[in-house]
Structure 1
Amino acid sequence: MADEKTVNSRFKLLRYYSMASAVALTVTASVLVALYRSDQVDEFLYSSEAENTRLATTFANTFWRQFQPFFITASNIAAEPLRRRGELRALDIAFDSLSTGLPILKIRVYDRQGRAVYSSIRDEVGEDFSINPGVGQAVGQGKTWTAMKFKPRMPDLAGRIDDRWVVETYIPVTGELGQPVGGLELYSDASPSMERLTSNVWRLGGLVAAILAGLYLTLFLIVRRADRIIQIQHEEVESAREALRTKEERFRAIADYTFDWESWLDQDGKLRWVNPAVERLAGYSIEQCLAMEDYPLPMIYEADRAEIRRLRQSALTGNFESGIEFRLVCRNGLVKWVMASFQPIFDDCGAIMGTRWSIHDITDRKRAEQRLRESEVRFRSVTQTAADAIISVNGRGDIVSWNVGAERIFGYAEAEALGANVTMILPEAYRQRHEEGLRRAVTTGDAPILGVPSLFEGLRRDGQVFPVELTLSRWEMDNGAFFTAILRDVTERKLAEQELAERTAELERSNAELQQFAYVASHDLQEPLRTVTSFLQLLRRRYDGALDDNAREYIHFAADGAARMHRLITDLLVYSRVSTHGRTFEKVRMEAVLDLVLTNLGAAIEEAGAEIARDPLPEVDADQIQMVSLLQNLVGNAIKYRAPGTVPRVHVGAVRDGDTWTFSVRDNGIGIDPKYFERVFVIFQRLHARGEYEGTGIGLAVAKKIVERHGGRMWLDSEPGQGSTFYFSLPVCQPRKG
């Protein structure tokens, strides 16, 4: 191990030495090349600027002396006229002559104000260049200014455009007394010289790079030779490290993202590692756990701590403890149920170096178990106290649940029934049909009687067959389909229904007989009553002059009684005919019915001065004659039962509510005490003496019977002295029947 470290150390030193040498050589060569280039450039700049200054001076002396009068007068000429002056052509010829064979690109001549009085580019003549720093130096301060610049797309005198290195020089032009009178700018092309300089620098750099490459190659071969010596050992070490790193990454990925709370504790119970699940499960951060004394006991429900301490010590002795359930107190005070396992951790030598704690949240499971227990208690409480039989069977029809109600109804104890086939409580006639239906329900899940109460017969232990009402439901478990039946002994109900049916039939027969009797009686009483009335009228006409006052009063009482008897018999006949002599229902316009009623009651309306208001009335399925009788009765009562000196005001309306029309007849009459609401619809019941209001007490009874025949109902709303509103409802549509 020591030799390997020594070899590795030497190898690292050799490698670092070779690399440092290469870097040093590279830096040194780069610095030398840079210094060489800088020196050459400086020398080139100096010579180029000096040469350009010489040329500019020559051009200034030649141009200014030759064309001085023009330059002086040109200062006062505008740009456009100046560009048209003939002297500029002479200047161009002189410039071409002087610049032939020279790297001249452009020339400008400036006056005292920095304005170009001549330029080799004609469009620049007359332009102001006073803001140019070179012009300012030459014209304003009388100093020479020169610089080298890189100018992209710079044209030469022949119009050829190219990227160029340019030396531009500005020199002052002085008068005879040495005063500045103008300036001259000269552009020279330094690109060829700069390209030669750059080429020389690159050749030097290439030479230095070749030398450096040779040195570095030598060092590289030395390093490579040394690297080959330890390559196999190095690869083995790296492979082992990579495998270890992969294992650790996989472990951390699993541990950090598992839903379980994982912890590692050393032999002293000190926490060494815990995953992030602790924060989700208990609300404590990893930092808080690492700083916690006697971790994790402060987070455990106090009553469970002693057992956890014991299990922790057991794990440190080499025992694996699992499936341990206890309560956890979260940071927010919430108590959760968890399941834990405690596993010893061994080192390479097999010695225990700590324990691994794995904790899983089972709160939801505990709650579900609690709800299941409560549900079972409720279920047993319901089934065992229910009067009905509640029986559950499996897919084969074997009984798996049998309550007290089933014992009472069928006579079998729970121990006898459990495991037996349910056909034991079915009469022989039902068994084959039951087995076929059970097979279909198990196979397809379909059964006509599922969820639908149905009647059939059951069989008691003593062989008695009796009627039962059955409600059946289907439910699934892992081991197949099950069915639960709720059975009710309806023997008493059937007897009661039979008795009720018999009584109903008897009442219907009796009612029919009574109606027939009333019809016959009222019809047969008409003839004797007419005879009595006729003889009373004959007696009055023939002997009226011969009778004293008492006799005439007796005849009057007899005639009046006969008239009341006639009205009573007529009304009774109408009442008896409502159900027996009704017409077939047809479409009836209630507007037309009301018109006919108001015509029939015209004399009473006129006599009372009644005001009749109406809303639009609908068309209904009804017996038209009975509708006339109904409305005439209600409107007539509204006019009749009024307070003395009061003008009757009657309103007839109708509103629709779903499939029903509700009609109303409202008046401003004397009203009715609510305690008499039911009484007014009873036949022969009167709330007033005959002397107050005439009538037989049958009208409202007839009206109610008409409404009931039409499938509706009748009621009223009233207060004494506040008027009354009678309501009756009729279906919007109904079957055609009499």
Structure 2
Amino acid sequence: MFRNPIVTGVLVFILITGLQYFTVKDYDLKKKTEEQRVIEQATILEKQISGALANSISTTRVLEYIERNYGIGNDFDSIAAGLLSTNKFIDAIQLVEGGTIIKTFPLEGNEEVIGYNILEDPKTKYEAERAIEKRQLYFAGPFELKQGGVGIVGRNPIFKDDEFWGFAAVIIKFESFIKVANIDISDKSPFYIQLSKVNPESGQEEYFLPKNNAELDGFKQTILLREGDWTITVQLKKSTAFKEVYPFMVLRVVLSMILGYLTFYVTSLPAYLSRKVEEQSQEIKLSNERFTLAARATSDAIWDWNILNGEVYRTDNFEKLFGHPIDSYSGTGEFWISQIHPDDYSRVEKDMKDFLKSDREYWEAEFRFKKADRTFAYVLDKGIVIRDEEGKAIRMIGAVEDITKRKEAEIELENEREFLKSMLENLSDAIIACDQSGKLILSNHAARVLHGKDILDTPPEDWNEDYGIFEADGISKLSLENIPLYKAWKGETIINQEIIIRRNDGSSRIVLSSGTPIITSSGRKLGAVIVMKDITEIRSNEQELLKLSQELEMRAKKLEVSNEELEQFAYVASHDLQEPLRMITGFLNRLEIKYAQVLDAKAKEYIFYATDGAKRMRQIILDLLEYSKVGSYEDKKQLIAVDQVLKNVSILNRRIIKEKKADITWSEMPQIYFQETPLQQMFQNLISNAIKYHHPDRNPEIRIDYEETKDSWVFSIKDNGIGIEKSYLEKIFIIFQKLHPKDLYEGSGIGLAICKKIVDKYGGKIWVESTTDEGSTFYFSLPKSSL
């Protein structure tokens, strides 16, 4: 056969044709490989950019949530600083009210944008309105920033009560964006990458990365990024498929024409093909490594679900995030659905079934997923579905993100809101607030009880009519301009304005109202709030107290008159009684002197007893006069050195002190603000008693001390006298109460009664502690409040 030229020629022709078939297949395989590389690069870029922007989404959502529910106010800088600390690639955060930028952080370097209205500038208006229309985060740019440089702006619209309020915005400088997205635009990169967008004004496509003027012949992949309506173009700069197969094509032709090498070529063909398969396997392996590295570059767990057979591929991040090992069990759809929290299970299962039956392309769900340690993590699951020609879902690819920290922050904010609401509901004072339009937006339980009805969304002009607000006289209705909440709404600050609230049941309540406007640090009015205190019972008690006070005042006046009359009576009586006694004593003395020679011993004894009785009666009258004067001291209160008072008492009693050989000592005494006369009288009586009732077997020893408490001065006079039996410790302070016969101890029994009357007048106390045959200690206290 080989010697036959025709047969040889046919064989060579067939061989060449067969070999060129492998060349074409090799070329197709390399082209497919190049296409796969471009698609993978485009997909990686898409995920890197989406991952970079995902942080912007969470940042603006947190900012939007706080402003929508509570209003950021003066806390913007601290909140923004916290958000930037966890999102290093974001260069600035802005709060936009309407279309005007009112806050930016950091302020340094961004001062020029404050007050800038993005809805009035044609360069920014369209994309800002686009965000409002989409009602979600939308990225504008890249464009020249007003504060300098080129960047992209992500704006998340804020709606309050379904009305557009403004934006929560993040600024990412373009160089930061390129760095975070890991876009390689160097000459060494095998890919030409371009980011473009259709200009809404001109309709022309604008390119944001450097153009490549060289001729490009590689495969090109275009992807639309919905976050900012950008187009990512990835193209292989130079296709090497033909260049790589060309030598083999020439070689095959040459080998085909060289009959000498035909046998060698045919025998070596299987090895050659095996080598080519190995090369392709290496390229596929390299492609898989790129995918693995891309999956590791993101914190999300990427998954690929084959819906037809139920198998699920998951990246290593799945085990890192949730702790479940990646094995045959976790690699099924049933495993995933079985780990969903029971409270979320039915909802997620229904949503997934509805999604697979629909014609939608993108899947998104938020739920709780059980980790290996049996705790639950909040996750955000996103994916894209692949359908067959009939629209049946056959495959889903997506990623799951652990959003536990963000969700816990949202729950904490919600708990704080509930706490504040509960606190308001439990306050005893009534609270009512309105917004900037005058709409009543808040009232607590106390306010509803005070009015006897629910606080409805009533316009200001109907407040008086609906809630029965009257002047303090309870007769005239309060004009709208004088209603406390209206005045606060108009910018006034109200403190304790008294009004009357008449309820539907006819009862009235007296109320003290205080209110203030609610204004942001920038001067924007948000509304007003009032606090109302029901003082009806207080006023009723005040009336009762006033009546009681008037009664006490009348009684005091009567008592004062009675005391004055008693004092006058005692003074007059004492003088009138002393005169007859002086006469009796005088005549008895004369009778004794004149008739001393004729009077016998019995008569003289009678005259002695009569004279002695008259003298004692006169002393009793003098003591009564002294007792009646207690409390009628003319000297004024002054700072008195107690030490000097004790010295004065010692001087007054020096004769008896010397006679009885008494030893009187005291510690360093204080200075008190008091009247000198009653204080000296107290010490005079107590020291005199201590000397009078001394023990016959020992010299008197008297010690005076004091103690200062928070409210009083407490003085003590201790002696070593005869003591007092316990049964008489209370009786000794009663007027004319004597414990011993007059022949043993002189006195009228009025000294301690005077002491008690003095102490009682100043709100103090007097008492005694005593042991028979050992001595006594008298205590008296003087409250500081009465000094």
Query: Do the aligned partners of 1:316 and 1:352 also contact (CA within 8 Å) in 2?
Result: no
Residue 724 of structure 1 pairs with residue 768 of structure 2: no
Q: Equivalent residue for 2:570?
A: 522
- Residue 571 of structure 1 aligns to a residue whose secondary structure is helix
Q: Provide closer, same or farther for how the CA distance between residues 270 and 416 of structure 1 changes in structure 2, counting only shifts above 3 A.
A: closer
Deviates more, 1:457-466 or 1:718-727: 457-466
Q: Provide closer, same or farther for how the CA distance between residues 313 and 475 of structure 1 changes in structure 2, counting only shifts above 3 A.
A: farther
Q: Equivalent residue for 1:595?
A: 647
- Residue 680 of structure 2 aligns to a residue whose secondary structure is helix
Query: Do the aligned partners of 1:265 and 1:273 also contact (CA within 8 Å) in 2?
Result: no
> Whole-Å Cα distance in 2 between the matches of residues 365 and 647 of structure 1?
87
| Residue number among 532, 554, 557 corresponding to 1:485 in the alignment | 532
Query: Do the aligned partners of 1:437 and 1:447 also contact (CA within 8 Å) in 2?
Result: yes
Shift of residue 493, structure 1, vs aligned partner = 0.8
Q: Provide closer, same or farther for how the CA distance between residues 678 and 688 of structure 1 changes in structure 2, counting only shifts above 3 A.
A: closer
| Residue number among 570, 581, 584 corresponding to 1:533 in the alignment | 581
Q: Equivalent residue for 1:628?
A: 680
Residue 424 of structure 1 pairs with residue 468 of structure 2: yes
> Whole-Å Cα distance in 2 between the matches of residues 289 and 529 of structure 1?
122
Amino acid at match of 2:468: M
- Residue 582 of structure 1 aligns to a residue whose secondary structure is coil
> Whole-Å Cα distance in 2 between the matches of residues 6 and 405 of structure 1?
79
Q: Provide closer, same or farther for how the CA distance between residues 239 and 613 of structure 1 changes in structure 2, counting only shifts above 3 A.
A: farther
Q: Equivalent residue for 2:395?
A: 352
Shift of residue 497, structure 1, vs aligned partner = 1.4
> Whole-Å Cα distance in 1 between the matches of residues 703 and 517 of structure 2?
61
Q: Equivalent residue for 1:390?
A: 430
| Residue number among 581, 584, 592 corresponding to 2:636 in the alignment | 584
Q: Provide closer, same or farther for how the CA distance between residues 285 and 664 of structure 1 changes in structure 2, counting only shifts above 3 A.
A: farther
Q: Equivalent residue for 1:273?
A: 315
> Whole-Å Cα distance in 1 between the matches of residues 357 and 727 of structure 2?
92
| Residue number among 620, 628, 649 corresponding to 1:565 in the alignment | 620
- Residue 392 of structure 1 aligns to a residue whose secondary structure is strand
Shift of residue 503, structure 1, vs aligned partner = 1.9
Shift of residue 418, structure 1, vs aligned partner = 7.0
Deviates more, 1:611-620 or 1:644-653: 644-653
- Residue 458 of structure 1 aligns to a residue whose secondary structure is strand
Query: Do the aligned partners of 1:679 and 1:685 also contact (CA within 8 Å) in 2?
Result: no
Query: Do the aligned partners of 2:381 and 2:400 also contact (CA within 8 Å) in 1?
Result: yes
Shift of residue 458, structure 1, vs aligned partner = 2.1
> Whole-Å Cα distance in 1 between the matches of residues 319 and 489 of structure 2?
46
* Structure (1 or 2) with the larger CA radius of gyration: 1
> Whole-Å Cα distance in 2 between the matches of residues 359 and 481 of structure 1?
41
Shift of residue 668, structure 1, vs aligned partner = 5.1
Amino acid at match of 2:432: S
Q: Provide closer, same or farther for how the CA distance between residues 507 and 305 of structure 1 changes in structure 2, counting only shifts above 3 A.
A: same
> What percentage of residue pairs aligned between the two structures are identical?
15
| Residue number among 548, 551, 566 corresponding to 1:500 in the alignment | 548
Shift of residue 600, structure 1, vs aligned partner = 1.5
- Residue 584 of structure 1 aligns to a residue whose secondary structure is coil
- Residue 353 of structure 1 aligns to a residue whose secondary structure is strand
Q: Equivalent residue for 2:193?
A: none
- Residue 636 of structure 2 aligns to a residue whose secondary structure is coil
Question: Which is helix-richer, 1 or 2?
Answer: 1
- Residue 236 of structure 2 aligns to a residue whose secondary structure is helix
Q: Deviations over 1:568-595 (max 9, x none)?
A: 32332331xx2x4331233433322221
> Whole-Å Cα distance in 1 between the matches of residues 698 and 365 of structure 2?
95
Query: Do the aligned partners of 1:264 and 1:274 also contact (CA within 8 Å) in 2?
Result: no
Q: Deviations over 1:29-81 (max 9, x none)?
A: xxxxxxxxxxxxxxxxxxxxxxxxxxxxxxxxxxxxxxxxxxxxxxxxxxxxx
Q: Provide closer, same or farther for how the CA distance between residues 448 and 484 of structure 1 changes in structure 2, counting only shifts above 3 A.
A: closer
TM-score, scaled relative to structure 2: 0.48
Residue 511 of structure 1 pairs with residue 559 of structure 2: yes
Shift of residue 629, structure 1, vs aligned partner = 2.0
Superposition pairs of residues 367-386 of structure 1, within 5 angstroms: 369=414, 380=425, 382=426
Q: Equivalent residue for 1:574?
A: 629
- Residue 735 of structure 2 aligns to a residue whose secondary structure is coil
Query: Do the aligned partners of 1:536 and 1:558 also contact (CA within 8 Å) in 2?
Result: no
Deviates more, 1:229-238 or 1:550-559: 229-238
> Whole-Å Cα distance in 2 between the matches of residues 507 and 8 of structure 1?
115
Residue 435 of structure 1 pairs with residue 479 of structure 2: no
- Residue 635 of structure 2 aligns to a residue whose secondary structure is coil
> Whole-Å Cα distance in 2 between the matches of residues 713 and 289 of structure 1?
89
> Whole-Å Cα distance in 2 between the matches of residues 289 and 718 of structure 1?
92
Q: Deviations over 1:185-222 (max 9, x none)?
A: xxxxxxxxxxxxxxxxxxxxxxxxxxxxxxxxxxxxxx
> Whole-Å Cα distance in 1 between the matches of residues 697 and 327 of structure 2?
98
> Whole-Å Cα distance in 2 between the matches of residues 511 and 394 of structure 1?
58
Amino acid at match of 1:237: L
> Whole-Å Cα distance in 1 between the matches of residues 574 and 408 of structure 2?
91
Q: Equivalent residue for 1:555?
A: 610
Shift of residue 524, structure 1, vs aligned partner = 0.4
Q: Provide closer, same or farther for how the CA distance between residues 671 and 345 of structure 1 changes in structure 2, counting only shifts above 3 A.
A: farther
Give RMSD over aligned pairs.
5.6
Q: Equivalent residue for 1:140?
A: none
| Residue number among 652, 671, 692 corresponding to 2:704 in the alignment | 652
Q: Structure 1, unaligned stretches of length 5 or more?
A: 10-228
Shift of residue 597, structure 1, vs aligned partner = 1.1
Amino acid at match of 2:687: V
Q: Equivalent residue for 1:28?
A: none
Q: Equivalent residue for 1:2?
A: 26
Query: Do the aligned partners of 2:380 and 2:403 also contact (CA within 8 Å) in 1?
Result: yes
Q: Provide closer, same or farther for how the CA distance between residues 331 and 394 of structure 1 changes in structure 2, counting only shifts above 3 A.
A: same
Amino acid at match of 1:266: W
Q: Structure 2, unaligned stretches of length 5 or more?
A: 1-24, 34-213, 220-233, 240-282, 521-525, 593-598
Q: Equivalent residue for 1:95?
A: none
| Residue number among 257, 260, 264 corresponding to 2:303 in the alignment | 264
> Whole-Å Cα distance in 1 between the matches of residues 778 and 346 of structure 2?
83
Amino acid at match of 2:395: I
Amino acid at match of 1:264: W
Amino acid at match of 1:509: K
Query: Do the aligned partners of 1:402 and 1:414 also contact (CA within 8 Å) in 2?
Result: no
- Residue 650 of structure 1 aligns to a residue whose secondary structure is strand
Q: Deviations over 1:7-46 (max 9, x none)?
A: 999xxxxxxxxxxxxxxxxxxxxxxxxxxxxxxxxxxxxx
Q: Equivalent residue for 2:44?
A: none
- Residue 315 of structure 2 aligns to a residue whose secondary structure is strand
- Residue 481 of structure 1 aligns to a residue whose secondary structure is strand
> Whole-Å Cα distance in 1 between the matches of residues 337 and 656 of structure 2?
101
TM-score, scaled relative to structure 1: 0.51
Q: Deviations over 1:214-268 (max 9, x none)?
A: xxxxxxxxxxxxxxx9996599537999x99999989866x42xxxx75535233
Query: Do the aligned partners of 2:488 and 2:515 also contact (CA within 8 Å) in 1?
Result: no
Q: Equivalent residue for 1:237?
A: 236
- Residue 421 of structure 1 aligns to a residue whose secondary structure is helix
Query: Do the aligned partners of 1:263 and 1:275 also contact (CA within 8 Å) in 2?
Result: yes
Q: Provide closer, same or farther for how the CA distance between residues 542 and 290 of structure 1 changes in structure 2, counting only shifts above 3 A.
A: farther
- Residue 533 of structure 2 aligns to a residue whose secondary structure is strand
